[in-house]
Amino acid sequence: MGSISGQFTNTPVPGADKYYPLNDPLIGTPLPENAYPQNAKIPLLFKPLTLRGHTFKNRIWVSPMCQYSSDNGHATDWHLVHIGGFATRGVGAICMEATAVTPEGRISPQDAGLWTDSQIDPLKRIVNFVHAQGASIGVQLSHAGRKASTYAPWVHLPASKARRATQWTAEENEDGWPDDVIAPSNIAYADGYPLPKEMSKEDLQRVEEAFVAAADRAKKTGFDFLEIHAAHGYLLHNFVSPVSNTRSDIYGGSLDNRLRYPLKIVGRVRKAWADKPLFVRISATEWAEFPEHEHGEWKQWGIKQSKIYVGELKKLGVDLVDCSTGGNWSKQKIPLSPGYQVPFAAELKKTHPDIPIASVGLITEPKQAESYLQEGKADAVFLARELIRDPNFALRAAAELEVAIKPADQYERAWMHVLTPKHPEQ
């Protein structure tokens, strides 16, 4: 007997701009317990998280990763393939790379941007594809501050090691803008980096407005969330740290003053991005060899000030803090080990249990990632290099944590070991 007419069809994603098969349930989400008994207990990695009315289908998230591959700030097909590959393999959220709010706010000449309307459509193509695969996608708004107009890593030192640049500054004849680099103070990050100009009142206002305008363009693009980059030695990190901010006006000196400009920008973006999740990435410490606080003075940026900072971000309505470290002290010595940044996320979470915290940093194993969530050290994990090495991390995690999750329809045949029903006694 034939099937009932129309019952067995390759159903399309409703409302998508092109034909894509509909994944039901969504890629990267648990399959029904009645068919897969092992799903009676779901790991936290595969449980949803809802922020400001938006539900992230799981807690394995793609960290922003600079690709140094944009055309005058415009996304290309490299970005479509790079980001699209994660969307088809089960991650819950993807945060696109540091995206400059002004041309001189780029890290390198080939960095992403959202300072002009022509940059919307190339990003919208990527957003539409990711949405058709059932994943959430956001963008990290950034200004590089004193680390702007610098080389991409492989330009400075290619893998062949055939040559090595003697500096990090991209000069004008290399598409750079070394004379237009701005920062809170006239202090270079390190030898070989541009010497920035101290920001004037006009500069401060212009960059503030640029963040707001970029948030508006992100809204038109259709992103699900925004992240403000206030870490890794870029502009907003430059302001909060006494290492890079020696201003004598209302934006320098005391902790309140150093926080003033970043908080002003976050507040403006929060109002512009009113109904969707807003994240802020911070560096919780600078890994300098001297104390954070000594003889009544703040010497470097660290966890004590970060706890105060998170409290202020919470008051402004920030929905999640993305906890990283480092990037502002050129002589930093980081004791690299698995999950080396998680203790800082845990400290923030302990101090502020009512705001979600995400962690990053050498998180490479599924059981390791799950343990951080189970122990309450973080609410989600951002992965970067491990996802480059293994874009199928979510499916590998499902196999190792013995839970059946949905692969993409087109890839199911490769993941039958994840799709085998298992009873508790097996």
d(CA 131, CA 114): 20
What is the pLDDT at residue 381? 98
Using DSSP's 3-state secondary structure scheme, residue 101 falls into coil
CA 126 to chain CA mean position, Å: 16
The predicted model scores a pTM of 0.96
- 240 pLDDT band (50/70/90 cuts)? very high
Non-local CB neighbours of 402 within 8 Å, separated by 6+ positions: 38, 422
Q: What is the pLDDT of residues 324-350, one digit of tens each?
A: 999 999 999 998 899 999 999 999 999
- 286 pLDDT band (50/70/90 cuts)? very high
Tokens (6 digits) for 8: 């067995």
Question: Please, what are the domains in the chain?
Answer: 37-157+166-415 (3.20.20.70)
Mean pLDDT for the chain overall: 96
SS3 track for 326-360:
CCCCCCCCCCCCCCCCHHHHHHHHHHCCCCCEEEC
Q: Indicate whether 402 pLDDT > 80.
A: yes
Which has the higher per-residue pLDDT, 422 or 247? 247
51 DSSP assignment: E
What is the pLDDT at residue 147? 98
Using DSSP's 3-state secondary structure scheme, residue 268 falls into helix
Give the angle subtended at the CA of 363 by the CAs of 357 and 365, to the nearest 5°: 125
Phi and psi at residue 124, in whole multiples of 5°? Answer: -60, -35
Tokens 């799709």 found at: 419
Write the single-letter amino acid at 109. P
Q: What is the pLDDT of residues 3-27, one digit of tens each?
A: 555 678 999 999 999 999 999 999 9
Residue whose C-alpha is closest to residue 347's, from 289, 306, 298, 287: 306
